[in-house]
Amino acid sequence: MDASPARRILRAAALLGCCCLVPVSGCSVLGSGGTEETSADRAAHAAAVPLTATDLQNQYQKVIRNVLPSVVQIQATSDLGSGVVYDGSGHIVTNAHVVGNEKKFKVTTANNEEPLTATLVYSYPEQDLAVIRLDKVPQGLRAASFGDTEKVQVGQITLAMGSPLGLSSSVTEGIVSATGRTVSESPSGGPGATIPNMVQTSAAINPGNSGGALVNLDGQVIGIPTLAASDPDLGGSTAPGIGFAIPGSMVKTVADQIIKQGKVTDSGRAALGITGRTVVDVNYQPSGVAVVTVKPGDAAAKAGIRPGDIITKVGGDDITTITSLAESLASDRPGQRTTVTFSRDGVGRTVEVTLGEQ
């Protein structure tokens, strides 16, 4: 294997292999000018030392050894997925679509061959996240460390860990391909969750990976793999190398609320406070969202929007389907002001709306 790409990856820890420590009591490590060398100086010197292929391989293996014990397999009655140990009390975070409508699960950890039982704490389908808890916490259960989503950058190496196709403790490798993606799930039977700020990765995501861990080379979980892109030109089959993970910061926000309060009380997601359905024009093309119900006292009601109105625009976004409406609102925050354009009895209107919370 050609190791030249690996040699271009820099290693901060290499400093310890290239410095000489003077064995005199009270002395300091000195730079070339005879002055005391700071940590910034040491990091700069270390950046000049490239990783070898063996070093990079060792780093991969270290991360896998540290994180894989925190990734579990979750078996529901008719579905199988993955989960990540969230704390030492036996809480495990996973996808809402993994738990479905069930309350009891079998969980296989990396250190236990026999499945353990777990109970649902709360499922939050709006963000496709759920928390379950082991009925009995085994010895040696290791919680994962979650990273800061704001520090995730395109090009970072990622490892996806989980149970693709039922193959437990599997690892695939890739990079962060993009950040800030808004993605709408499309499960059978209707529209799924629309999730903002997702991490796109080239690490292979297959059925069974859902709810597992997307990990950086610092051993931090930066996302929960949730779905792979599908290619409509290939009959809806999975598009290779395009997978999406719910950002780690959002996972922590939701999981902390579920564990402390038993439910999500602050989603941070904007909402109009309506239910709606997609309508089509005379050519049977999607042309807007018909308002079915309006929640009293919520954003749409306060703005004068009524059942039967057809929403065609939010802010600068054209609205043609219920999914496009969800995607438009996904990047907004509760309390934010925007405009909503709709038609009523064939007459177009635009109103200003202060968005509520999902």
Active site residues: 97, 128, 210
* Residue 45 neighbours by CB under 8 Å, 6+ apart: 15, 18, 19
CA Rg value for the chain: 25
Q: For the chain, report the end-to-end CA distance as a whole number of angstroms.
A: 50
| C-alpha dihedral sign at 35, 41, 42, 47 | negative
Tokens of 269: 């997601």
Q: How far apart are CA 187 and CA 236, in angstroms?
A: 12
């002395």: which residue's tokens?
Answer: 27
Q: How many residues does the chain have?
A: 358
353: left (phi over 0), alpha (psi -120 to 50) or beta: beta
DSSP 353: E
* Helices (H), ranges, the chain: 4-7, 39-46, 53-67, 96-99, 248-261, 299-302, 322-330
DSSP 223-271: EEEEEEEEEGGGTTEEEEEEEEEEEHHHHHHHHHHHHHHSS-S----EE
Evaluate whether 334 touches 251 at the Cβ level (below 8 Å): no
Region for 175 from its dihedrals, namely left if φ exceeds 0, alpha if ψ lies in -120 to 50, beta otherwise: beta
